[in-house]
Amino acid sequence: MDEGIPLAASTGSVSALAPDTSSEPGDGKHRAAGQTPVPCWFMRGGTSKGPFFRGADLPADIPARDAVLLAAMGSPDPRQIDGLGGAHPLTSKAGIVSTSGREGVDLEFLFAQLQPAGGTVDTTPNCGNMLAAALPFAIESGLLTPDGDTTTARVLTLNTGMVAEITVQTPLGTAGRYVEYAGDARIDGVPGTAAPVTINFLDTAGSVCDSLLPTGNVRDTVDVAGVGPVDVTCIDNGQPLVIINAGDLGRTGRESAVDLNKDAELKARLEDLRLTCGKLMGLGDVRDKNYPKMTLVSPPAAGSAVNTRSFIPHVCHESIGVLAAVTAATAAILKGTVAHDVAVLPEGAAPTVSVEHPSGEFTVQLGLDAENPTKVVKSALIRTARLLMAGAVMVPAHLSFQEHTL
Residue pair 157/113 in contact by the 8 Å Cβ criterion:
no
**Distance from C-alpha of 203 to C-alpha of 200, rounded to nearest angstrom:** 9
Residue pair 350/378 in contact by the 8 Å Cβ criterion:
no
Q: Which among 106, 75, 102 has a CA at the least distance from the CA of 91?
A: 75
The residues near 370 (Cβ < 8 Å, ≥ 6 apart) are none
347-360 average pLDDT score: 84
Query: 125-171 pLDDT, tens per residue?
Result: 889 999 999 999 999 999 999 889 999 999 999 998 989 999 999 99
Residue pair 59/65 in contact by the 8 Å Cβ criterion:
yes
Query: 75-132 pLDDT, tens per residue?
Result: 999 999 999 999 999 999 999 999 999 999 999 999 999 999 999 999 998 899 999 9
Residue 261 has pLDDT above 80, yes or no: yes
In sequence order, the β-bridge partners of residue 114 are: 121
**Distance from C-alpha of 135 to C-alpha of 211, rounded to nearest angstrom:** 28
252-270 average pLDDT score: 96
Residue pair 4/144 in contact by the 8 Å Cβ criterion:
yes
The residues near 203 (Cβ < 8 Å, ≥ 6 apart) are 162, 163, 377
Q: Which among 240, 187, 226, 222 has a CA at the least distance from the CA of 361?
A: 187
User: Looking at the chain, how many residues does it have?
Assistant: 406
**Burial of 226 per CB tally in 10 Å (0-12, 13-18, 19+):** exposed
State what percent of residues in the chain have pLDDT above 70. 89
284-296 average pLDDT score: 94
pLDDT of 394: 96
DSSP state of 194: B
Which of the four pLDDT bands, split at 50, 70 and 90, describes residue 205?
A: confident
